[in-house]
A and B are shown apart, each in its own frame.
Chain A
Amino acid sequence: MEWVIRFAVGGLVVAGFSAIGDMVKPKSFAGLFGGAPSVALATLVLTVNKHGPTYVQMEARSMIAGAVAFFAYAFVVSWLMMRNRLETYVVTSVTMVVWFGVAFGLWAAWLR
């Protein structure tokens, strides 16, 4: 049951932030909502009740590394999209390696 609640809350929070992103203009401002803390909000609210604040603080510290990786990923995607004619799904899929590389690189250097 816990996983069903997690799925429902996560899905709704992500869709909510996406809806705000759809409604606002200009496009560059709407893009900010692509980096909204939707998954984090859904997860942390549920996790703090189950595991307590120390566990959540550890997750939040790792989230900073994940966010740096997200920044690098989105930056590379934006740069490639502006300069190439590749399909969006190709660029966004192949460059996932940037997120994994930066996130786990920071994890190995700072968090492990």
Chain B
Amino acid sequence: MLNIRIRPKELKDAHWYSWVMRILFGGSITVLAGVIAKYYGPTVGGLFLAFPAILPASMTLIERHEKAKKRRVGLDGRREAHAVASVDAAGASIGALGLAAFGFVVWRYLRGGPTWEVLTLATLAWGVTALLGWLVRKRAIKMRIVKRAW
């Protein structure tokens, strides 16, 4: 039903510069969130804990990778690359719902419990919300296809 697969060998396809880019983007936005919180307070700084820092870079890399793959077999690949990048963004939008669940758990429960336990619980809330959102979306797409076929 879930049809989720883990393929560690996919990591070999990633170029070294994509890792450098991810570390630079991730490190920069973490520092930026801290600087903004320092000068404008935690309510403004907190917004940037959910800033889509890595999504544009990862989508650009996915698009480039897909185009290169299609061009190797003599196709243009623009349309397919766009579609794959679009699917990635759709997944990220569901991940963002999980991010809201993460924030909610930390906001409501941090004072009551040890930091590590609350952060673990919040990460679980992110995972469960994202997984449920993904399943609901998958089912909705399937229903739409069945309806169209009728």
Residues of A within 8 A of B (CB): 3, 6-15, 18-19, 21-48, 51, 53-71, 73-75, 77-79, 81-82, 84-85, 88-89, 92-93, 96, 99, 103-104, 107, 111-112
Question: Do most interface residues of chain B lie in helix, strand or loop, or is the interface mixed?
Answer: helix
Give the contacting residue for B100; candidates A38, A68, A84, A112; CB below 8 A: A68
A110–chain B nearest beta-carbon distance, Å: 10
Alpha-carbon separation in the docked complex, A65 to B45 (Å): 11
Alpha-carbon separation in the docked complex, A71 to B55 (Å): 12
Alpha-carbon separation in the docked complex, A56 to B49 (Å): 11
Give the contacting residue for A39; candidates B7, B10, B53; CB below 8 A: B53
- Could you give, for residues 1-13 of chain B, a 1 whenever the CB lies within 8 Å of some chain A CB and a 0 otherwise? 0011111101100
Chain B, range 60-108, C-beta contacts under 8 Å to A? 60, 63, 78, 82-100, 102-104, 106-107
Chain B interface bracket (under 10, 10 to 19, 20 to 34, 35 or more): 35 or more
User: Chain A contacts of B137 at CB under 8 A?
Assistant: 28
Chain B, range 102-135, C-beta contacts under 8 Å to A? 102-104, 106-107, 110-111, 115, 119, 122-123, 126, 130-131, 134
Contact present for B22 and A14 (CB under 8 Å): yes
User: Chain A contacts of B107 at CB under 8 A?
Assistant: 57, 60-61, 63-64
